[in-house]
């Protein structure tokens, strides 16, 4: 309960920081919904993949849940915002279990952290992963980072590039907010949040992490890169006045997809936690499915299941 009170205070500070006292009215409703769903049993993932890393592949993607995706390009493995624990910030309970067990991930060459919020920078999840690779962080995140034992831990500022062999990873701007505990937002002067563009063996993948919509940002990324697959968030949605500044809904995610000029889109950041006031956990996916059908985008937007692995050659 004490942890829940601390987390509620953090949310309250964040709400007031962005929207004033009107935004703070979201917090008690959110906490009430969180408590309501904490006692529900987690949904299981049938036929879990036990060997997610493939011997020979052009490009494969496996959505583990929330913003966590296992991306393999050739012989290199990338993992985004690993989240395997039962709760986020000791408050939000997971609705569905992770799509794979972390013990089945034998190696990760690059672990990409988009920002320091509890549901994206999970210490307990990082502890469960192999440490053979590099841990990449947004600028300003290093003071929040314990010593996990990765071969390298590196902050990256916007448009900074990491090149190792033929792997090229670029940190790119997105629209979100920094801090981890709410009360630290005003003095965290560095951005503390980022997206990433991964380039390897002729494949280019964009991972946004959390973001709101900004036409200038995403059109600029689209001008600089020819993107094959874009991982874009579609929730939380409601209350829109509160969420819109830092979280895209399905319509805005599709607009980002268009701005980027990407070939394919995979929606993330939905169906895993209750983080808004949507009427049901599948609400964002249902809205996206409707928009995709209306616009004839079924061959471009892949709505994958948690635990589903797609191979693109």
According to the model, what pLDDT value does residue 3 have? 45
Give helix then strand counts, H and E, for the chain: 8, 15
In this structure, are residues 89 and 123 in contact, taking their beta carbons and an 8 Å threshold? no
In this structure, of 8-22, 80-94, 261-275, the range with the lowest mean pLDDT score is: 8-22
CA distance 154 to 146: 13
Other CB atoms within a 10 A radius of the CB of residue 34 amount to 20
Domains of the chain, by residue range, sit at 2-312
Chain segment 28-85, per-residue pLDDT in tens: 676 666 656 666 778 999 999 999 999 989 999 999 999 999 999 999 999 999 999 9
**Averaged pLDDT score across all residues of the chain:** 89
Chain segment 103-159, per-residue pLDDT in tens: 999 999 999 999 999 999 999 999 999 999 999 999 999 999 999 999 999 999 999
According to the model, what pLDDT value does residue 34 have? 64
CA distance 100 to 51: 9
Q: Is the pTM of this model over 0.85?
A: yes
Axis crossing angle, helix 215-224 with helix 250-260, rounded to the nearest 10? 40
Under CATH, which architecture does the 2-312 domain have? Answer: 4-Layer Sandwich (3.60)
Per-residue pLDDT, averaged over 272-287, amounts to 95
């Amino acid at each position: 309960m004490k942890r829940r009170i601390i987390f509620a205070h953090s949310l309250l500070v964040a709400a007031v920081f962005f929207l004033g006292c009107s935004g703070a009215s979201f917090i008690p409703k959110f906490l009430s919904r969180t408590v309501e769903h904490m006692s529900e049993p987690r949904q299981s993932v049938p036929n879990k993949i036990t060997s997610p890393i493939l011997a020979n592949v052009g490009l494969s993607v496996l959505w583990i849940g929330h913003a966590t995706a296992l991306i393999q390009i050739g012989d290199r493995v990338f993992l985004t915002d690993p989240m395997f624990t039962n709760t986020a910030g000791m408050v939000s309970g997971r609705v569905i279990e992770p799509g794979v067990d972390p013990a089945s991930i034998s190696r990760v060459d690059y672990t990409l952290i988009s920002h320091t919020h509890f549901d994206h920078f999970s210490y307990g999840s990082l502890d469960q992963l192999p440490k053979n690779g590099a841990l990449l962080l947004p600028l300003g995140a290093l003071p929040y980072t314990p010593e996990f034992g990765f071969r390298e831990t590196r902050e990256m500022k916007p448009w900074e590039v990491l090149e190792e062999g033929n792997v090229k990873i670029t940190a790119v701007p997105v629209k979100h907010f920094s801090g981890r505990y709410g009360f630290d937002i005003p003095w965290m002067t560095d951005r503390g949040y980022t997206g990433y563009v991964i380039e390897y063996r002729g494949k280019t993948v964009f991972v946004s992490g959390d973001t709101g919509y900004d036409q200038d940002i995403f059109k600029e990324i689209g001008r600089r890169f020819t993107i094959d697959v874009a991982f874009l968030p579609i929730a939380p949605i409601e209350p829109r006045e509160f969420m819109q500044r830092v979280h895209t809904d399905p319509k805005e995610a599709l607009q980002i997809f268009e701005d980027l000029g990407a070939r394919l889109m995979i929606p993330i950041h939905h169906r895993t936690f209750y983080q808004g006031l949507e009427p049901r956990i599948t609400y964002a996916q249902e809205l996206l499915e409707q928009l995709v059908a209306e616009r004839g985008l079924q061959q471009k937007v892949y709505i994958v299941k948690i635990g589903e692995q797609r191979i693109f050659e």
